[in-house]
Structure 1
Amino acid sequence: MNTAEMNHFQDIYDALDHGQTDEAMRLICQEQQKTEHSAELYYLQGKVFMKLSDWGNAISCFLKSEEIEPEGPARQCRLMLTEIMDFYNKDMYNQ
């Protein structure tokens, strides 16, 4: 992500930082109508889904972002979520 993109999407980052997921998603959808296939927008959308604990949609957004920008920040988020979802404690199920 470059500085110009960060500044362009600053309102979305601010909404995310303040936990305003509805506002962030509204702004993302608004930007997606103007700009198709933006790795940064898919990444941000994935971050919103993460905050909403919607892991499947978050991973899908991160994958779309990775297709466009393979070495972008979405890859790290997707790997983290995959690790979390793959983890389980067998002892919890045998109590």
Structure 2
Amino acid sequence: MNSLQIIQQLIDNKKFAEAIGMLTEQINDTVAGGDCNDKAELYFLRGKLLWRIGEHSRAMTDYAYASELDPSSPAIKALEQARDIAGFFNPDLYNP
């Protein structure tokens, strides 16, 4: 079983912190100058998990890294949507 399958199992079992930790290890272990698409996919996956647990700022950072590494990554759309959501949120509307 490869590491992405293990990470998917952790996600399925709602062990998000462990999955994020494994993704971080994978990102750090990816050799500089290696396949940018693989690293972009890892950043995108970690960003999706971070978004899911409410760490939106960190998720947007990962989406941005992924989109820089791979211009055809789905992270570009995710970053666009995250920015739209962040731009819509206005705490003053909820606290008159």
The question of a shared fold, defined as TM-score above 0.5 by the shorter chain, is answered with: yes
Q: What is the rounded CA distance, in whole Å, between the counterparts of 1:21 and 1:56 in structure 2?
A: 17
Residues 44-75 of structure 1, C-alpha deviations (whole Å, 9 max, x = no match): 11112101211111111000000010111111
| Match runs of 1:2-17 below 5 Å | 9-17=4-12
SS in 1 for 2:84: helix
- Report the 3-state secondary structure (helix = DSSP H, G, I; strand = E; otherwise coil) of the residue aligned with 2:72: coil
Pick the aligned partner of 1:24 from 7, 19, 22: 19
What is the correspondence of 1:1-95 to structure 2 with a 5 Å cutoff? 9-36=4-31, 38-88=39-89, 92=93, 95=96
Q: Scaled by the length of structure 1, what TM-score is found?
A: 0.75
CA distance in 2, matches of 1:60, 1:94: 28
Q: Which amino acid counterpart does residue 29 of structure 1 have in structure 2?
A: T
Q: Which consecutive unaligned segments of at least 5 residues does structure 2 have?
A: none
C-alpha RMSD of matched pairs (Å): 2.5
Corresponding residue pairs, total = 89
**Gap regions ≥5 residues in structure 1:** 1-6
Identity %: 28
CA distance in 2, matches of 1:21, 1:66: 23
